[in-house]
């Protein structure tokens, strides 16, 4: 089948080069441009005078740096960019009897009428279980002890 030249835009031509780029460049996270594009987006939002774009960005950047530096000398109880409340903190208190470090984030449960009160699938439950197991500092001594037991008894566990 012969395709007309208008068919070949960049999105149809891109898969031809992707395998070579992956082999030549390696994993994408080492050459990913998203953080830089996001930073440039934030800089472009600071433009106030379109006749002097670079000067406008420079001035806004300097003002932001100075205000951040000066805010270190304000009294600690004043709200500023450095000590603002985290994004998802709704000010709720945690009343947990578990006292595990992984559950120390503040917040409140979502109302049932919003979520619908669904149960986790088995794979979701296993993922949550493993996340708690491997990311809770209080469980590290037990994991270490379990690993030592397996290594001392040669039970097909490699130390990696």
Q: What is the pLDDT of residues 11-55, one digit of tens each?
A: 777 788 888 888 888 777 777 788 888 888 988 898 989 899 999
- Residue 111 pLDDT level (bands cut at 50, 70, 90): low
Same domain, 11 and 67: yes
Structural domain range at position 109:
101-152
pLDDT tens figures, 72-99: 888 878 878 777 777 766 666 655 565 6
Q: How far is CA 43 from CA 11, 59, 126, in A?
A: 29, 11, 42
* CA nearest to 83, candidates 93, 95, 71, 92: 71
Please report whether residue 59 resides in a domain: yes
Last residue of a domain, one of 25, 54, 71: 71
Same domain, 9 and 60: yes
- Are 46 and 60 in contact by the 8 Å Cβ rule? The answer is yes
* CA nearest to 99, candidates 138, 140, 142: 138
Same domain, 57 and 115: no
Say how many domains are in the chain: 2
Same domain, 119 and 61: no
Task: Give Cβ neighbours of residue 43 (< 8 Å, ≥ 6 apart).
Answer: 57, 60, 61
**Claim: this prediction has a pTM higher than 0.75:** no
Please report whether residue 18 resides in a domain: yes
- Are 143 and 153 in contact by the 8 Å Cβ rule? The answer is no
Q: In the structure encoding, which two tokens stand for residue 23, read together?
A: 């082999």
Distance, CA of 142 to CA of 133 (rounded, Å): 10
Please report whether residue 157 resides in a domain: no
Please report whether residue 63 resides in a domain: yes
pLDDT of residue 68: 87
Please report whether residue 85 resides in a domain: no
Please report whether residue 91 resides in a domain: no
Please report whether residue 29 resides in a domain: yes
Same domain, 108 and 66: no
Please report whether residue 133 resides in a domain: yes
Q: In the structure encoding, which two tokens stand for residue 43, read together?
A: 């800089």
């Amino acid at each position: 089948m012969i395709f007309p030249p208008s068919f070949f835009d960049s999105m149809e031509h891109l898969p031809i080069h992707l395998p070579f780029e992956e082999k030549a460049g390696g994993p994408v996270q080492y050459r990913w441009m998203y953080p830089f594009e996001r930073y440039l987006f934030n800089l472009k939002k600071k433009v106030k005078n379109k006749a002097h774009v670079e000067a406008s960005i420079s001035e806004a950047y300097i003002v932001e740096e100075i205000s951040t530096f000066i805010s270190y000398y304000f009294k600690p109880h004043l709200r500023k960019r450095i000590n603002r409340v985290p994004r998802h903190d709704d000010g709720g208190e945690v009343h947990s009897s578990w006292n595990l470090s992984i559950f120390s984030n503040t917040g409140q449960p979502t109302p049932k009428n919003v979520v619908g009160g669904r149960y986790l699938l088995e794979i979701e439950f296993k993922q949550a279980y493993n996340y708690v197991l491997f990311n809770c500092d209080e469980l590290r001594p037990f994991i270490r002890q379990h690993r030592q037991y397996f290594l001392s008894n040669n039970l097909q566990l490699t130390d990696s």
